[in-house]
Structure 1
Amino acid sequence: MTQYFIDLTIVALFVIGMTAMMGVLVNGIGQKLFGGSNRMENVNQTEKTQTGWKLVGGKK
């Protein structure tokens, strides 16, 4: 009975892990293929917003 639960746990972790990895991979591929010319729009707007901000943290 213990072996059953161990096997069930291993398979469950494998299925959950594979589902998570496939989601990340497919999302990345979808953004590259179907993102068009506006795929960096949010990044560019964030950079514009943060222009002139003071840097905090880290080593000097």
Structure 2
Amino acid sequence: MRHVSTTEMIQRLSGLLGTDDLNGWEQTFVTNLQRFVSAGKVTELTDKQVERLDELHAKHFA
């Protein structure tokens, strides 16, 4: 399986914004992650944020 970067996972999940595929919490989480990407601060995500991102990405793209 190919490694997917943090930024790529966020971009993929961003494509689900505004759909019923993400619940309210997930919509907010992905929107906040987009802000990290826009600010060039993806490397500043906490371990917990990265863990939740991995879980959410696997849920929709595994």
After TM superposition, is the score higher than 0.5? no
The one of the two structures with greater contact order (alpha-carbon pairs below 8 A, sep at least 6) is 2
| Structure ranking higher in helix proportion | 1
Question: How does the TM-score come out when normalised to structure 2?
Answer: 0.28
Tell which structure's C-alpha radius of gyration is larger. Answer: 1
Question: How does the TM-score come out when normalised to structure 1?
Answer: 0.28
